[in-house]
């Protein structure tokens, strides 16, 4: 009798009820799907200039890096300045809300930065910002 | 005995949620790993010649700041230190509140200095900044 109760009571409707856990996990999943922004990393790190008045970019998620030697990196590849426009056009069609941040090294040339920003504008993304680092850990 | 079997059957009705949970967990782990929480920090500037500029209405001038290739910064026909740009912009902004700032950098000037100048202008209270480049003759 004791073994029968054991068998029918706990053994056969086995395990915990997974439904509440599934609800919880689905909620987490939805949260992460919504907050994921899929930033296009440039693939190189540059020495950014510090600035006091930086703005947190809400959806600045295409990063173009300009290194001190003038190399331009975008989406983990080194690109030529003439390639930026078609690349930006393609990304703009895929995700029209994306904005671009051009991150220039401290020692990079301002002329290259200007040209890159012009190419991005020509590619259809009007919101272009200069990348900077927050000063004093702000 | 029959009653017990009936009871068991009712108890195990419904779909087995475990495989679905496995799948959803995998999706969740994927999104946690790919999520990037670092917000990029940036400074907004306009470029000259853009069609979608906000300053298309009235004909306003702008405060011009020149950055020379050797790192000299010129405001209002005087060479000033980078840290003094803020004070100069504040003064000129008080005289001409409608005017934006045009940062005209030589194409061989350093981008780090440009960011510093733009930062100083923003600290001086002007948000409408245009970044232009000029070629050395």
Domain definitions of chain B by residue range: 2-34, 61-134
Give the closest residue to A117 by CA, choosing from B48, B112, B120, B51: B48
Contact between A55 and B42 using a beta-carbon 8 Å cutoff: yes
Q: Give contacts of B42 with chain A, Cβ < 8 Å.
A: 54-55, 57, 60, 101, 129-132
For residue A95, what are its two tokens? Answer: 């995700």
ipTM tops the 0.90 cut: no
Q: Give contacts of B18 with chain A, Cβ < 8 Å.
A: 15, 18
Residue of A nearest to B107 (CA): A111
Give the closest residue to B126 by CA, choosing from B83, B91, B90: B90
Mean pLDDT, range A88-106, rounded to an integer: 89
Q: How confident is the model at residue A79 (pLDDT cuts 50, 70, 90)?
A: very high
Interface test with B, best of A110, A117, A119, A135 (most B CBs within 10 A): A110
Contact between B67 and A110 using a beta-carbon 8 Å cutoff: yes
3-class SS letters over A46-101: CCCCEECCCEECCCEEEEEEECCCCCEEECCEEECHHHHHHHHHHHHHHCCCCEEE
Mean pLDDT, range B47-57, rounded to an integer: 55
pLDDT given for residue B56 in this prediction: 45
**pLDDT tens digits, residue range B7-36?**
455 555 677 888 888 888 898 888 888 776
- The answer to whether A25 and B25 have CB atoms below 8 angstroms apart is yes
For residue A78, what are its two tokens? Answer: 């080194």
CB pairs < 8 Å spanning A and B: 176
Q: Give contacts of A52 with chain B, Cβ < 8 Å.
A: 119, 122-123
Q: Give contacts of B21 with chain A, Cβ < 8 Å.
A: 18, 21-22, 25
pLDDT given for residue A13 in this prediction: 59
Looking at residue B46, the DSSP 8-state letter turns out to be B
Contact between B106 and A110 using a beta-carbon 8 Å cutoff: yes
Mean pLDDT, range A7-32, rounded to an integer: 75
- The answer to whether B96 and B12 have CB atoms below 8 angstroms apart is no
Task: Calculate what percentage of chain B has a pLDDT beyond 70.
Answer: 78
**pLDDT above 80: residue A64:** yes
pLDDT given for residue A3 in this prediction: 45
Mean pLDDT of chain A: 81
Rounded Cα distance between A91 and B65, Å, is: 34
Which residue ranges form the domains of chain A, and what is each CATH number? 2-35 (no CATH), 50-137 (3.30.420.270)
pLDDT given for residue B41 in this prediction: 81
For residue A28, what are its two tokens? Answer: 């987490």
What is the model's pTM?
Answer: 0.73
∠ Cα A39 A60 A78 (to 5°) = 55
Q: Which CATH class is domain B61-134?
A: alpha beta
Dihedral Cα A38, A42, A44, A45, nearest 10 deg:
-70
Query: Which range scores top for mean pLDDT: A3-12, A16-25, A37-46, A105-114?
Result: A105-114
Q: How confident is the model at residue A67 (pLDDT cuts 50, 70, 90)?
A: very high
pLDDT given for residue A14 in this prediction: 65
pLDDT given for residue A127 in this prediction: 84
Contact between B131 and A117 using a beta-carbon 8 Å cutoff: yes
Mean pLDDT of chain B: 80
Q: Which comes out higher in pLDDT, residue B137 or B95?
A: B95
pLDDT given for residue B12 in this prediction: 59
Distance from the Cα of A1 to chain B's closest Cα (Å) equals 12
Looking at residue A44, the DSSP 8-state letter turns out to be S
């Amino acid at each position: 009798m004791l073994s029968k109760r054991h068998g029918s009571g706990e053994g056969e409707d086995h395990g915990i009820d997974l439904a509440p856990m599934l609800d919880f996990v689905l909620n987490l999943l939805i949260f992460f799907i919504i907050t994921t922004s899929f930033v296009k990393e440039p693939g190189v790190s540059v020495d950014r200039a510090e600035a006091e008045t930086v703005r947190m970019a809400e959806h600045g998620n295409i990063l173009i890096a300009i290194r001190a030697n003038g190399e331009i990196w975008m989406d983990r590849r080194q690109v030529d300045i003439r390639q930026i426009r078609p690349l930006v056009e393609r990304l703009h069609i895929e995700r029209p809300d994306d904005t671009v941040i051009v991150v220039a090294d401290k020692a990079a040339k301002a002329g290259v930065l200007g040209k890159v920003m012009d190419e991005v504008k020509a590619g259809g993304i009007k919101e272009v910002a200069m990348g900077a680092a927050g000063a004093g850990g702000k | 005995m029959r009653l017990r079997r009936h009871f068991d059957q009712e108890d195990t009705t419904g779909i087995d949620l475990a495989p679905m949970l496995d799948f959803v967990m995998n999706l969740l782990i994927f999104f946690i790993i790919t999520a990037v929480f670092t917000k990029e920090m940036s400074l907004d500037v306009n470029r000259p010649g853009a069609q979608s500029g906000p300053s298309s209405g009235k004909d306003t001038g702008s405060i011009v700041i020149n950055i020379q290739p050797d790192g000299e910064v010129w405001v209002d026909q005087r060479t000033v230190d980078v840290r003094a740009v803020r004070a100069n912009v504040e003064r000129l902004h008080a005289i001409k509140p409608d005017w934006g700032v045009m940062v005209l950098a030589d194409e061989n000037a350093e981008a780090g200095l440009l960011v510093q100048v733009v930062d100083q202008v923003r600290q001086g209270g002007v948000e409408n900044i245009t970044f232009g480049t000029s070629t050395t003759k």
